[in-house]
Structure 1
Amino acid sequence: MKIIIAPAKKMVIDQDSFPIRSMPDFLDKTQILWDFLKSRDYAQLKDIWRANDKIVKENQLRLQNEDLKKQLTPAIFAYSGLQYQYIGAGVLEQEGLDYLQENLRVVSGLYGLLRPFDGIIPYRLEMQNKLVGFRDYSLYHFWNDRLYQAIYQEDEVVINLASKEYSRLFTPYIKENQQFITIEFLEEKHGKWRQSATHAKMARGAMVRFMAQNQVTNIHELQAFNDFGYHFDEESSTSNKYVFKKEVEVN
C-alpha cells in the first residue's frame, strides 16, 4: 500500500532533528527544472510563480545560491503546512517513521515523488505554474506518466490523500486491476455536504498519522479513522472513494 499527499507551500530548513536516509529518485529531472528556473530573470519568475515581490526575491536567491545535493532537510520535515503539522512526524515512534518511509510519498512539482526522508531544499513550484519558455508546456506534460509508473511498480493499491492538482498526475493512467482510493472529508452545512479546505488538510495529516501509528496494511482498516469528528460513511463510499463525514453545528 502506498499513500500519496500533496506538498506544502511553506517550507523550512531543519538539518539537525533527523538525518536524511535517501535521495530523490528523479533528481536528474529535478535538475532540469531547477536549471530552467535559474535561467529566468526576475520578471519571468514572477510570471511563473504569480507571487508577491518578497516571495519572488527570496526564491530567486535560492535558485542562485543553493545546490540540490547540499544542506538537505528530510522532506517530511521540510514542508510545514497544516497537513504536515497534523502528521506530527517529529513525535512518532521509530516504527511509525519507518512505516512512513516505506509507504508515504509526497507528490512534488519539482521533485516528482519523495519518500519522507529524501533530502530536499526549499523551493517554489506548483503543478499549475505555467513554465513559459520551457521545453514542455506544463509540468503535467513534463512528468507525464513517470510518477504513476513509479508508484505502481511498487504496489497495486494507492491511498490518495492529495489534492486534485497533484492526483491528476495519476488518475489518467489508472488501470482496471489497480486500486486508487481517494479519501474525502465532508461537513454538513445548511443541509449540504461540502469540503472545508482547512479541515480537510488537518484530517489528511491526521489520517497519515493514524496509518503510521496503527501500521495500517489493509484498506478496510482506514474505516476506523474518526479524528475531528469524522466518521466513515459507507453509504456514500465506493470501492475507489472513501467518504468521511461530520455534522457541524451552525449558529
Structure 2
Amino acid sequence: MKIIISPAKKMNIDTDSLPHEALPHFLPEAKALLGKLKSMDYHELKKLWACSDALAKMNFERLHTMDFENKLTPAILSYEGIQYQYMAPGVFEYNQYAYIKKHLYIVSGMYGLLRPFDGVAPYRLEMQAKLSGDAYKNLYGFWKDKLAKKLSEESSTIINLASKEYSKSISNDLPKNISFITCFFTQLKDGKLIEKGTECKMARGEMVRFMAENNISDPENIKYFDKLNYKFSDKDSNKNNFVFIKPRNQLK
C-alpha cells in the first residue's frame, strides 16, 4: 500500500534535524525542468508562479543557486503547509518514520515523486503551472505516465490524500488492476456534502499521522479515523471513495 500527498508552496531548509537518505528517483527529469526554468526571465517566472514581487525575487534567487546534491533537506521536513503542520513529522517516533518511509510519497511538480527522506532543495513549481516545452504543453504532459508507472510497480493499492491538482497526474494513467482510494473530508451544508480547503488539508495531515501511529496496512482500517471529529460514512462511500463527515454540531 502506498499513500500519496500534495507538497506545500512554502518550504524551508533543515539540514540539522534529520539527514536525507537518498536523492529523488526522478532527478534527471527535475534537472531538465530546472534547465527550462533557468531559461526564463524574471517576468516570465513571476507570471508562471503567480506570486508577489517579494516571493518572486526570493524564488528567482533560489532557482539560480539551486543545488540538487548538497545542503539538502529530507522532503518530509521541507514543506511548511497546513497539512504538514497537522501531520507534525518533526515529532514522529522512530516507528512512525519507518512507516512513512515504507508507505508515503509526496507528489511534486518539480521532482515527480518524493520519498520522505529524499533530499530536496527549496523550489516553487506547482503541478498545474502552465510550463511548456518543445514536447509538452504543461507539467502533466511533461510527466506523462511516469508517476503512475512507478507507483503501480510498487503496490496494487494507493491511498490518495493529495489534492486533485496532484492526484490526477497519477490517477489518469493507472492500470485498471490498481486500487485507487481517495479520502474525502466533508461537512453537510444545505443537504450536500462539501469540502473546505483548509479543513481538508488539516484532515489529510491528521490522517497520515493516524496511519503512521497505528501502522495501518489494510485500507479497511482507515475507516476508524476519527481525528478532528470526522467519522467514516459507509452510506456515502464505496470501494474507491472513502467519505468522512464532520457532524453538524462540530461545524465552525
* TM-score normalized with structure 1 length: 0.97
| Contact 2:152/2:175, CA 8 A, preserved across alignment | no
In structure 1, what residue type is equivalent to 2:16? D
> In structure 1, what is the Cα distance between the partners aligned to 2:186 and 2:60?
38
Identity of aligned residues (%): 46
> In structure 2, what is the Cα distance between the partners aligned to 1:178 and 1:108?
21
> In structure 2, what is the Cα distance between the partners aligned to 1:144 and 1:159?
20
Q: SS at the partner of 1:169?
A: helix
* TM superposition shift of 1:75: 0.4
What residue is the counterpart of 1:229 in the other structure?
229
Aligned length: 251
What residue is the counterpart of 1:21 in the other structure?
21
* TM superposition shift of 1:41: 0.7
In structure 2, what residue type is equivalent to 1:124? R
| Contact 1:100/1:116, CA 8 A, preserved across alignment | yes
What residue is the counterpart of 1:178 in the other structure?
178
What residue is the counterpart of 2:138 in the other structure?
138
Q: Summarize the Cα distance change of 1:241–1:207 in structure 2 as closer, same or farther, 3 Å threshold.
A: same
What residue is the counterpart of 1:43 in the other structure?
43
* TM superposition shift of 1:135: 4.0
* TM-score normalized with structure 2 length: 0.96
> In structure 1, what is the Cα distance between the partners aligned to 2:134 and 2:12?
28
* TM superposition shift of 1:66: 2.2
> In structure 2, what is the Cα distance between the partners aligned to 1:36 and 1:20?
26
* TM superposition shift of 1:247: 2.0
* TM superposition shift of 1:231: 0.4
> In structure 1, what is the Cα distance between the partners aligned to 2:185 and 2:29?
34
What residue is the counterpart of 1:90 in the other structure?
90
Unaligned residue ranges in structure 1 (runs of 5+): none
| Contact 2:149/2:174, CA 8 A, preserved across alignment | no
> In structure 1, what is the Cα distance between the partners aligned to 2:240 and 2:82?
25
What residue is the counterpart of 1:73 in the other structure?
73
In structure 2, what residue type is equivalent to 1:92? F
> In structure 2, what is the Cα distance between the partners aligned to 1:107 and 1:66?
20
Q: Does 1:202 align with 2:202?
A: yes
| Contact 2:2/2:158, CA 8 A, preserved across alignment | yes
* TM superposition shift of 1:164: 0.4
| Contact 1:109/1:125, CA 8 A, preserved across alignment | yes
Q: Does 1:188 align with 2:188?
A: yes
Unaligned residue ranges in structure 2 (runs of 5+): none
> In structure 2, what is the Cα distance between the partners aligned to 1:183 and 1:6?
13
| Contact 1:36/1:134, CA 8 A, preserved across alignment | no
What residue is the counterpart of 2:154 in the other structure?
154
> In structure 1, what is the Cα distance between the partners aligned to 2:243 and 2:232?
6
What residue is the counterpart of 1:244 in the other structure?
244
Deviation string for 1:19-59 (max 9, x for gaps)?
11111000000000011111111111112111111111111
Q: SS at the partner of 1:96?
A: helix
Q: SS at the partner of 1:168?
A: helix
> In structure 1, what is the Cα distance between the partners aligned to 2:134 and 2:166?
20
* TM superposition shift of 1:248: 3.1
The root-mean-square deviation of aligned C-alpha atoms, in Å, is 1.3
What residue is the counterpart of 1:116 in the other structure?
116
> In structure 2, what is the Cα distance between the partners aligned to 1:53 and 1:158?
38
* TM superposition shift of 1:189: 2.7
* TM superposition shift of 1:196: 1.2
> In structure 2, what is the Cα distance between the partners aligned to 1:247 and 1:137?
43
